C-alpha cells in the first residue's frame, strides 16, 4: 500500500471540537485549551498476540477497543475525552482494507463522544501489528479523582458488572463452554467492545471528594492501587459484588470469582467516597439509569484489601491481575 494514500483514506472529513485550530495535514495538530480546565492525557498500546488475536476479532472490533480503553482512563479522571492520535505499526500480513476497518472502529466510538482524530504515525514492521492510541481530554481545575483520595469510613463502589470481559475471553479461547447463545454473545461483546463510563466519571468528579480507578487489570489490582496510594485498608463484601445474569449462567462458581477479581478489561470504574456523597451519587445514577453498586468499605483496622466471604471470614486479596513483565 501507499502510506500517503492510506492516510487520506482514514483522514476525517469533519471536526467536532471548535477548539481545533489545525487538524490533520500539517506536521502537528493545534488546539486551544479551554479556560479554567486542566488537560488530561493518556496512552495505551495494543499488541497483536498479546491484547488481541486476529482470528478472534475483526479489525473494526480491534480499533473500537483500542480507543475505548483510553477513553476509560479519561473517565477515571472524571474528564471529557476530546481528541485522539493513533500510531500504528503495520506488518505485510495486514491488508489495507483491514487497516481502514480499524480506523472505522475507532471512528464509530469517536463520533459517540464527539472526539477528533488529530494525527499520529504509520510505519511498517516485519513483526506483529501494534496500535498506540493517545487520548487528550479536559477536566475542571478543581476536580481530582486520584487514587490517593480514599479516607477511612468511605464507601467502596463499582459501576456496572465485573467479570464479564474475562469470561468473554475464556469463551473465545474455548476455555469454557456455554450453551446459551444470548449469554455467549453478551459476554464476548463485553470483551470486544467495552463501554467507557464517561458519564459516571463526570458524576463522581462532581462530588466533594472521591478516588477512582478504571478496571483494566482486574478489580483486585485496582483496589490495591487505591489502598496503597491512600494508605488505607479496604474490605470488599463478596455477596455485594455485581454479577450479570449472563455470567451467573456459567456453571463454575470458582471461575466466576476468579474472573470478577482478577480478570480485568471490564473498564468499569471502581472508587471510594464519603457516605454522604455516596447517597447523592447513588440517587443520581439511579435516575440516569447508570448502574453503580456499593461493594465495600474503607477500614483502617487492617492494611491492604480483604474479601469478606458469606461466612464472615476475611481473606486477603493480593494485587494480582495481568502484568506485562510477569505474564509471559
Tell me whether residue 164 is annotated as binding: no
Give the chain's mean pLDDT: 93
Tell me whether residue 255 is annotated as binding: no
Q: Which of 140, 172, 191 is the last residue of a domain?
A: 140
Tell me how far apart the alpha carbons of residues 71 and 254 are, in angstroms, rounded to a whole number: 31
Dmax over CA atoms of the chain, in Å, equals 63
Per the structure, the complete domain to which residue 206 belongs is given by 147-317
Q: Over range 224-237, report the average pLDDT.
A: 97
Contact (CB, 8 A) for 84 and 118 = yes
Q: Which three cell numbers stand for residue 17?
A: 471540537
- Give how far Cα 67 sits from Cα of 98, 112, 194, Å: 17, 12, 10
Neighbour order of strands in the sheet with 116-124: 37-47, 130-140, 80-90, 116-124
Tell me whether residue 107 is annotated as binding: no
Contact (CB, 8 A) for 195 and 328 = no
Indicate whether 299 and 153 sit together in one domain: yes
pLDDT for 251 equals 64
Indicate whether 59 and 169 sit together in one domain: no
Q: Averaging pLDDT over each range in 12-16, 40-44, 246-250, which range is the top one?
A: 40-44
pLDDT for 10 equals 85
Count of structural domains, the chain: 2
Q: Which of 98, 113, 140 is the last residue of a domain?
A: 140
Tell me whether residue 5 is annotated as binding: no
Tell me whether residue 265 is annotated as binding: yes
pLDDT for 128 equals 94
Indicate whether 151 and 116 sit together in one domain: no
Tell me whether residue 27 is annotated as binding: yes
Q: Over range 6-34, report the average pLDDT.
A: 89
pLDDT for 1 equals 66
Is 202 a residue whose pLDDT tops 70?
yes
Tell me whether residue 289 is annotated as binding: no
Tell me whether residue 127 is annotated as binding: no
pTM: 0.93
- Range from 13-17, 68-72, 160-164 carrying the lowest mean pLDDT: 13-17
Indicate whether 167 and 294 sit together in one domain: yes
pLDDT tens for 255-282 read 788 999 999 999 999 999 999 999 999 9
Tell me whether residue 121 is annotated as binding: yes
Tell me whether residue 322 is annotated as binding: yes
Q: Over range 290-299, report the average pLDDT.
A: 97
H helices of the chain, where?
Answer: 3-10, 59-76, 96-113, 164-172, 181-192, 198-205, 219-230, 245-248, 253-262, 275-287
pLDDT for 328 equals 45
pLDDT for 178 equals 87
Tell me whether residue 216 is annotated as binding: yes
Q: Over range 288-316, report the average pLDDT.
A: 94
Residue 325, domain member (yes or no): no
Contact (CB, 8 A) for 279 and 155 = no
Tell me whether residue 73 is annotated as binding: yes
Tell me whether residue 245 is annotated as binding: no
Percent of the chain with pLDDT over 70: 96
Residue 324, domain member (yes or no): no
pLDDT for 325 equals 43
pLDDT band at residue 324 using 50, 70 and 90 as cut-offs = very low
Q: Which of 140, 169, 189 is the last residue of a domain?
A: 140
Q: Which three cell numbers stand for residue 180?
A: 446459551
Residue 323, domain member (yes or no): no
327 vs 39 pLDDT, higher one: 39
Indicate whether 115 and 167 sit together in one domain: no
Q: Over range 77-95, report the average pLDDT.
A: 96
Amino acid at each position: 500500500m501507499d502510506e500517503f494514500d492510506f492516510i487520506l483514506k482514514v483522514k476525517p472529513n469533519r471536526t467536532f471540537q471548535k477548539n481545533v485550530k489545525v487538524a490533520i495535514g500539517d506536521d502537528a495538530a493545534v488546539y486551544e485549551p479551554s479556560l479554567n480546565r486542566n488537560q488530561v492525557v493518556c496512552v495505551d498500546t495494543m499488541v497483536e498476540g498479546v491484547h488481541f488475536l486476529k482470528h478472534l476479532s475483526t479489525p473494526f472490533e480491534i480499533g473500537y477497543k483500542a480507543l475505548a480503553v483510553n477513553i476509560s482512563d479519561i473517565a477515571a479522571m472524571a474528564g471529557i475525552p476530546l481528541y485522539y492520535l493513533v500510531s500504528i505499526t503495520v506488518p505485510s500480513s495486514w491488508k489495507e482494507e483491514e487497516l481502514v476497518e480499524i480506523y472505522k472502529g475507532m471512528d464509530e466510538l469517536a463520533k459517540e463522544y464527539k472526539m477528533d482524530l488529530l494525527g499520529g504515525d504509520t510505519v511498517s514492521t516485519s513483526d506483529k501489528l501494534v496500535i498506540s492510541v493517545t487520548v487528550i481530554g479536559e477536566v475542571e481545575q478543581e476536580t481530582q479523582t486520584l487514587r490517593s483520595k480514599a479516607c477511612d469510613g468511605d464507601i467502596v463502589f463499582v459501576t456496572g458488572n465485573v467479570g464479564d470481559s474475562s469470561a468473554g475471553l475464556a469463551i473465545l479461547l474455548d476455555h469454557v463452554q456455554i450453551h446459551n447463545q444470548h449469554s455467549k454473545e453478551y459476554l464476548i461483546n463485553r470483551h470486544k467492545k467495552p463501554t467507557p463510563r464517561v458519564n459516571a466519571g463526570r458524576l463522581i468528579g462532581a462530588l466533594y471528594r472521591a478516588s477512582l480507578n478504571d478496571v483494566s487489570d482486574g478489580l483486585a489490582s485496582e483496589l490495591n492501587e487505591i489502598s496503597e496510594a491512600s494508605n488505607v485498608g479496604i474490605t470488599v463484601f463478596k455477596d455485594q459484588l455485581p454479577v450479570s445474569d449472563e455470567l451467573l449462567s456459567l456453571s463454575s462458581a470458582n471461575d466466576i470469582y476468579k474472573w470478577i477479581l482478577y480478570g480485568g478489561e471490564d473498564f468499569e470504574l471502581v472508587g471510594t467516597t464519603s457516605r454522604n456523597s455516596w447517597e447523592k451519587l447513588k440517587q443520581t445514577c439511579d435516575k440516569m439509569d447508570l448502574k453503580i453498586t456499593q461493594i465495600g468499605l474503607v477500614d483502617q483496622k487492617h492494611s491492604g484489601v480483604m474479601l469478606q466471604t458469606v461466612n464472615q471470614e476475611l481473606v486477603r486479596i493480593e494485587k494480582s491481575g495481568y502484568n506485562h513483565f510477569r505474564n509471559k
